[in-house]
Amino acid sequence: MTEQVPNKFIVPIGPQHPALKEPGHFEFSVDGEIVTDASIRLGYVHRGVERGTEDRTWVQNLYLIERICGICSHIHATAYTLGVEKLAGLSAPPRAQAIRELFCELERIHSHLLWIGVAAHEAGFDALFMYSWRDRETVMDLLEELSGNRVHYSCNVLGGVKFDISDAQRDAILRGLDFLEQRTHHYLQVVTQDAAFVRRTRGVGVMTKEQAVEYGAVGPVARASGVERDVRVDAPYLAYEQFPVQMITDTAGDLEARFAVRVRELFESYRVIRAILDKLPAGELMAKMPRKIPPGEAIVRVEAPRGELFYFIKSNGGDKPERVKVRTPSICNFGSVARLTIGHQLADAPMILAGIDPCFSCNDRAVRIKRQDHIQSWTWSDLRRYALKKYSA
Amino acid sequence: MKDATTLLQAAQSILAPWAKEFTYPDPMRLDVALAAGDIAPAAAALRAAGWGYLTAITGLDLGVEAGKLEVLYHFCDGPALVNLRVTLPRDNPVINSVCGAIPSASFFERELSEMFGVTVAGTPNPDKLFLPEDWPDGVYPLRKDFEPELLTRGRP
């Protein structure tokens, strides 16, 4: 009698190319088609930023912090400046706070549109990918027009902002938003009604509200499972009290809900940007900051495009921070994806990963399939093709 | 929505059995000093009462002279923020895992462990999360006496 060979092998995926955000290494154990276990290894581009902040002055750190992420650079700089201002016992003038919020929402628009494209690509919808990235250029052009930069806008300074919004810029933003809003209606229709698209998303990767809480999910991923958490609403910062947003939630908890929540958040961003431009407070752009920051601890929470971003800043009274701790939203959502893929088809893994918006676009890296004593090498594109083929049948 | 004061008062009564000291650094924030051995039951009590969620764990090195590390467990509920604060000896820092009640703490504990050399007893996965596999043992990059030279010492 031959011994039954357990039909189980491990599919390691990644580490990813660091072109977008955190690259990660995922290892899926598979029994036939079904994922039975998943583990994560991060740190492939760990740059020691937290340590680096301790050797730089409060002002120099602003530039380091803004480079933690190339997608949500502004929200990092905003969290840091809010913390330093709190320690110094002052706050930026109302006009500066409103301009910061405006940049936050423009950044969210570009981030969400970028994600729609990445996720559409993983689902094999390259037309949607190209349309959404074409449309995203509208908001990138606006950011460049306002700040001179497409990516690191460098809008914040300690105590305020660098740029004002001119009348011509305001009109350009409003024109851009009109176009994007009309396009977003189309996207909402595609992600909730297109039969081929919802086949990849409806009922896939379902996370209940209880699971979302237990796994520690944040941001749109948590809200798509009915967890009512949005720092902009729960603990308004910047000018979110004067220019509030509505929390967007869903109850389905599947991939479709994650798509729908992000797309519907775009409408909220358009609305709040219009409200800010309509009633932009008059006044100064900057408050004067001391060079040395009084001793103390400050904790700041803000809502990045991917969810709650947490900063802990400690000063010992000098011209450099004693400690800056950064907890990004993705670390929380990575934990949820590891648990979510279990029990799903391997073919659903690309979409479940893309569903948390982990920045997976430039991930054409080695994927190895370990099976007994021979190792088969896959690339991420192989895995994606495998998934597409499976779903084209 | 509940206001911060009500939420913080609720947290204070949940944590009363273990707290050594309560302080309010600002109206939205309650700091709770705990003995190192009490972190797991205190965190579990917040979780059981449905008070907020664990948003992060921060490690702090108070320096070689002070000989102490601090670990802060940040819990948030709406606008309210509770920090559980534990002090550990720098030469043998050991703390119990809170993963029993809060499984999502696993990543935070792995980070704390590799960056500060805190042994987290009972954490489900003690592997490195961010640092490379060939990172030398006993070198903790967020301790104040860390020098990049420690990474190449003893190597050709």
Name which of A91-95, A96-100, A194-198, A330-334 the model is least confident about. A330-334
Rounded mean pLDDT of A339-358? 77
Residue B139: its chain A contacts at CB < 8 A?
A: none
Q: Mean of the per-residue pLDDT values for chain A?
A: 84
> Are A217 and A207 in contact, with CB atoms under 8 Å apart?
yes
Q: Give the residue from chain B lying closest to A42, CA to CA.
A: B130
Any domain includes A93: yes
Question: Tokens 């190319």, residue?
Answer: A17
Least Cα distance to A83 among A50, A106, A58 occurs for A58
How remote is the C-alpha of A331 from its chain's centroid?
A: 11
Q: For an interface test with B, give the residue of A22, A309, A325, A337 to mutate (most B CBs within 10 A).
A: A325
A233 and A382 share one domain: no
Cβ-Cβ contacts under 8 Å for B26 (sequence gap 6 or more): none
pLDDT class of A280 with cuts at 50, 70, 90: very high
How many C-beta neighbours within 10 Å does residue A98 have?
A: 25
Q: Cβ–Cβ of A235/B79 closer than 8 Å?
A: yes
What confidence tens digit (pLDDT) does each residue in A319-335 have? Answer: 999 999 998 887 778 77
Least Cα distance to A297 among B60, B36, B102 occurs for B60
**CA distance linking residue B127 with residue A339, whole number of Å:** 17
Q: For an interface test with A, give the residue of B60, B107, B147 to mutate (most A CBs within 10 A).
A: B107
Any domain includes A227: yes
* CATH code at position B84: 3.30.460.80
Any domain includes B85: yes
A243 and A278 share one domain: yes
**CA distance linking residue A193 with residue A59, whole number of Å:** 49
**CA distance linking residue A342 with residue A153, whole number of Å:** 39
Report whether pLDDT(A370) > 80.
Answer: no
A148 and A39 share one domain: no
What confidence tens digit (pLDDT) does each residue in B61-75 have? Answer: 999 999 999 999 999
Least Cα distance to A48 among B153, B132, B118, B106 occurs for B132
CA distance B142 to chain A (A): 6
Name which of A1-15, A57-71, B94-108 the model is least confident about. A1-15
The beta-carbon neighbor of A215 closest among B1, B56, B104 is B104
The most confident of A298-302, A342-346, B130-134, B147-151, by mean pLDDT: A298-302
Q: ∠ at Cα A105 (A235, A282), nearest 5°?
A: 85
A124 and A25 share one domain: no
Domain count, chain A: 2
Alpha helices in A290-358 (DSSP H): 329-340, 349-355
* Burial of residue A392, with CB atoms counted within 10 A of its CB: 0-12 exposed, 13-18 middle, 19 or more buried: exposed
What confidence tens digit (pLDDT) does each residue in A209-252 have? Answer: 998 888 888 999 999 999 999 999 999 999 999 999 999 999 99
**CA distance linking residue A346 with residue A383, whole number of Å:** 9
Give the strand pairing for B80-89 and B29-34.
parallel
Residue B146: its chain A contacts at CB < 8 A?
A: 51
Of A327, A362, A379, the one marking the end of a domain is A327
Any domain includes A238: yes
Least Cα distance to A142 among A179, A116, A112 occurs for A179
Cβ-Cβ contacts under 8 Å for A148 (sequence gap 6 or more): none
pLDDT at res. A31: 77
Any domain includes B73: yes
Any domain includes A97: yes
What is the span of the domain harbouring residue B26?
A: 4-151
pLDDT at res. A339: 78
pLDDT at res. A204: 85
Residue B56: its chain A contacts at CB < 8 A?
A: 310, 312, 325, 327
Domain count, chain B: 1
What is the span of the domain harbouring residue A121?
A: 49-327
A26 and A163 share one domain: no
Which of the pair, A118 or B97, is modelled with greater confidence? B97
A89 and A152 share one domain: yes
Q: Give the residue from chain B lying closest to A314, CA to CA.
A: B60
Phi/psi for A203 (5° steps) reads 75, 5
CA distance B40 to chain A (A): 16
Which of the pair, A263 or A6, is modelled with greater confidence? A263
Any domain includes A296: yes
Any domain includes A335: no
Q: ∠ at Cα B134 (B131, B139), nearest 5°?
A: 65
> Are A135 and A183 in contact, with CB atoms under 8 Å apart?
yes
How many C-beta neighbours within 10 Å does residue B136 have?
A: 12
A322 and A371 share one domain: no
Q: Mean of the per-residue pLDDT values for chain B?
A: 90
A162 and A196 share one domain: yes
Any domain includes A232: yes
Residue A229: its chain B contacts at CB < 8 A?
A: 53
For A:322-351, CB contacts with B below 8 A are 323, 325, 327, 331-332, 334-335
CA distance A84 to chain B (A): 15
Any domain includes B133: yes
**CA distance linking residue A343 with residue A347, whole number of Å:** 12
pLDDT at res. A367: 39
Any domain includes A1: no
A132 and A227 share one domain: yes
Any domain includes B156: no
The beta-carbon neighbor of A46 closest among B53, B102, B130 is B130
Any domain includes B112: yes
A16 token code pair: 């990813």
Cβ-Cβ contacts under 8 Å for A56 (sequence gap 6 or more): A64, A320
A125 and A12 share one domain: no
A165 and A38 share one domain: no
> Are A360 and A354 in contact, with CB atoms under 8 Å apart?
yes
What confidence tens digit (pLDDT) does each residue in A14-55 have? Answer: 655 333 344 667 777 777 777 777 777 676 667 778 888 888
A226 and A247 share one domain: yes
Report whether pLDDT(A372) > 50.
Answer: no
Rounded mean pLDDT of A298-324? 93
Report whether pLDDT(A344) > 90.
Answer: no
Rounded mean pLDDT of A341-358? 77
**CA distance linking residue B12 with residue A326, whole number of Å:** 26
